[in-house]
């Protein structure tokens, strides 16, 4: 796969389930790519065969990149990868752009953006929605916070791996909206999981429950993602871990507390994911919480 020397050099840190798809599509669009070599990466042989290079530290990635894309787990990892001794800021060149695609606490995002700016760089928060399947297809949704002119400058790169791209407002807006989105999505998922667990206890056929919901007020994206598991035990439509759900719910409740917003329902939903995590299934996919809840109800 040939790269276009007129295109900016891109670095990516975090080649996990989502980051691998992003990296693959950046390469397909002809961008030179350097990735951080990290044990948490998915296999990267295909990316290296397509022309990607490896770097040993985040600083090394930054030294080789005009744009650095972060796709790590959350706020602690974002702060570490940017601010550690051999972090991105240690190798950042003037005017380099940092695009944070992770899910993060917005108050931290503002501090991180300020640190990037003080180091001579520029910053966008661009968290994503959808799943690894859409990441591989280059069809993610992005919610972007930052300067409008910088947003426009980065659009060609963002379009290489995203289908729907929304400029949400100033820095931090992307992460605020991502948490609002994930609260609604994960909240709906927890409600549906409890309903499916109750259906088991009430001896209601799961398939019939799905039909009734699909024809009524329960239809939607979340039903579509959980239905394959409820009916067939297939998690492929919702490959998002309970650990990540708990993290995101924790970030949402932190944001709600900081803003003084009501969050009683959010706390109950967070507690549902926390109970499943504490039971030892933190790395299971979200749909698998249904069986945990059904089993818990039988105790």
Q: What is the 3-state secondary structure (H, E, C) of the chain?
A: CCCCCCCCCEEEECCCHHHHHHHHHHHHCCCCEEEECCCCCCCCHHHHHCCCEEECCHHHHHHCCCEEEECCCCHHHHHHHHHCCCCHHHHCCCCCEEEECCCCCHHHHHHHHHHHHHCCCEEEECCEECCHHHHHHCCEEEEEECCHHHHHHHHHHHHCCEEEEEEEECCCHHHHHHHHHHHHHHHHHHHHHHHHHHHHHCCCCHHHHHHHHHCCCCCCHHHHHHHHHHHHCCCHHHCCEHHHHHHHHHHHHHHHHHHCCCCHHHHHHHHHHHHHHHHHHCCCEHHHHHHHHHHHHCC
Active site residue 178: yes
Catalytic residue among 5, 178, 247, 298: 178
**Residues belonging to the active site:** 178
């Amino acid at each position: 796969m040939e790269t276009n020397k007129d295109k900016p050099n891109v670095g990516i840190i975090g080649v996990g389930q989502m980051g691998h798809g992003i990296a693959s599509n950046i390469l397909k669009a002809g961008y030179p790519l350097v990735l951080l070599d990290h044990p948490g990466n998915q296999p990267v042989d295909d990316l290296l065969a397509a022309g990607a290079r490896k770097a040993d530290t985040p600083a090394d990635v930054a030294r080789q990149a005009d744009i650095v894309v972060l796709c790590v787990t959350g706020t602690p990892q974002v702060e570490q990868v940017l601010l550690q001794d051999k972090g991105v800021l240690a190798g950042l060149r003037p005017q380099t752009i940092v695009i944070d695609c992770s899910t993060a606490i917005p108050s931290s995002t503002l501090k991180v953006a300020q640190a990037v700016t003080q180091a001579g760089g520029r910053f966008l928060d661009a968290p994503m929605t959808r799943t690894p399947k859409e990441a591989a297809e280059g069809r993610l949704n992005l919610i972007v916070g930052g300067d409008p002119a910088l947003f426009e400058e980065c659009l060609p790169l963002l379009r290489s791996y995203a289908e729907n791209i929304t400029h949400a407002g100033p820095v931090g807006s992307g992460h605020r909206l991502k948490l609002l989105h994930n609260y609604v999505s994960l909240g709906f998922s927890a409600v549906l999981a409890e309903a499916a667990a109750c259906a088991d206890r009430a001896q209601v056929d799961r398939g019939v429950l799905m039909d009734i919901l699909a024809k009524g007020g329960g239809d939607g994206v979340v039903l579509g993602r959980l239905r394959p598991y409820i009916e067939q035990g297939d998690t492929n439509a919702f490959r998002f871990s309970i650990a990540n759900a708990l993290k995101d719910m924790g970030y949402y409740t932190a944001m709600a507390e900081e803003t003084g917003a009501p969050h009683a329902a959010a706390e109950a939903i967070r507690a549902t994911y926390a109970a499943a995590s504490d039971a030892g299934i933190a790395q299971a996919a979200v749909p698998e919480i249904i069986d945990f809840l059904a089993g818990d109800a039988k105790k």
